[in-house]
Amino acid sequence: MSNHHPCICISYRKVLLAIVEPIKSDWQDRLMRDLKALPKAHLHLHFTGSMRITTLRELAAAQQIRLPENFSADAALHVPANQRGWFRFQRAYDAARKVVRSESTMRRIIHEAAADERQEGSKRLEIQIDPTSYAPFVGGITPALEIVLDAAKAASHDTGVQIGIIVAASRMKHPLDAAILARLAAKYAGAEPGCVVGFGLSNDERRGETAQWAKAFRIARKAGLAAVPHGGELLGPQHLREIVEHLHPARIGHGVRAVEDPALLQQIVDQSIALEVCPASNVHLGVYQQLGDVPLRNLLDAGVKIALGADDPLLFRSRLAAQYEAARTILGFSDSELATLARCSIEASLASPSDKQKWYREIDSWLLTSDEASQQCASADPPTLASTPKNSSLQSDH
């Protein structure tokens, strides 16, 4: 006959349930689902920065162009977050851009980017380009943009990855140049793959007064293009306030420094402005010392709509799925939280409502269906009450 009182046994079981159920839930959630199978949208990728390192080296060799050491040594670029650091980054980027001197190369970059995004699990890619950088080699900015649009349409068909184009002005150039680009972008605005879907502003955030580019963004918004300027990576909250006030963004490229001002952060949430957060870029450009310092969870907990991005994988050697992997392994995001990030990226995209709904369902399926690795992990039973030793130390003294 047992010496334990029934009430004590019931209490003992409740204690065990309180311990085991959270462990079991966490065990189930952390089954290692394949992050490349997670449907997602990639909204922060630059044209030249998307290039494969193998393509860069091949093109450079064919044209006898000498590449900086970080490209030849197969090392990611690391620079401090100051003017000298930005100069080094820009010099490397310009060196890569020098190999892009023909229509065939431009088409190749778009097609390879689409193929790479398919491998990363992207359903939608919104890639940005400043066509003035390639205009001298293809007959002007209009042909340069048309080449990219036609290549994006073809690559969308070939790979199944929807591609929208963002025309981006540069802070290094006069605001009147931005207005010219905005008018050009407006002529090719559309919702189908291979159309211009947004207008951006990139390069060194410390250059120029943000209000000077307001006219260009008014032109773009009037044509139905989303405003997607860069900001809040190298500069802090005040810079972001100017972007919100003068450019009226739907999304902001980076924007991580918004965490430094709770009032600004709440304004971004209230206005449903999405942030394109690029963890690897933040570290490689010296904004944060390590990936664990990137305030991804702070932003998500505040209610910000986040779309993870790779920015320039050619320089940082880190593509889109690696950003999700960093969120999982370094920042401690569960698979359900990673699914939330993927949903946010799709919601922040400029895809059609019907496509978004389809991809949301695919994300739900990803959560419900574990991959081969998780099935192997699942072959071992999770903790249960039945597996708890009967002679547990959690016993009553009665």
- Cβ pair 358, 375 in contact under 8 A: no
* 276/200 Cα distance (integer angstroms): 12
* 231/203 Cα distance (integer angstroms): 9
* 125/313 Cα distance (integer angstroms): 14
Q: Which residue has the tokens 């229509």?
A: 103
CA distances 169 to 18, 71, 104, 361, Å, are: 56, 26, 23, 36
Q: Is 4 left (phi over 0), alpha (psi -120 to 50) or beta?
A: beta
Residue 191 exposed, middle or buried by CB count within 10 Å (0-12, 13-18, 19+): exposed
Q: Is 146 helix (H, G, I), strand (E, B) or coil?
A: helix
Helices (H), the chain: 6-29, 53-62, 69-72, 83-97, 103-120, 135-138, 141-159, 175-187, 214-222, 237-247, 262-270, 279-284, 296-301, 313-316, 320-329, 335-348, 353-368, 372-378
Catalytic residue among 117, 120, 126, 233: 233
Residues 259, 263, 269, 271, CA torsion sign? negative
* 50/52 Cα distance (integer angstroms): 7
* 340/342 Cα distance (integer angstroms): 5
* 351/295 Cα distance (integer angstroms): 27
Residue 380 exposed, middle or buried by CB count within 10 Å (0-12, 13-18, 19+): exposed
Is residue 337 annotated as a catalytic residue, yes or no? Answer: no
Q: Is 315 helix (H, G, I), strand (E, B) or coil?
A: helix
Q: Which residue has the tokens 């943009």?
A: 145
Q: Is 127 left (phi over 0), alpha (psi -120 to 50) or beta?
A: beta
Amino acid residing at 382: P
Angle ∠(72,74,79) on CA atoms, nearest 5: 95
Q: Which residues are catalytic?
A: 233
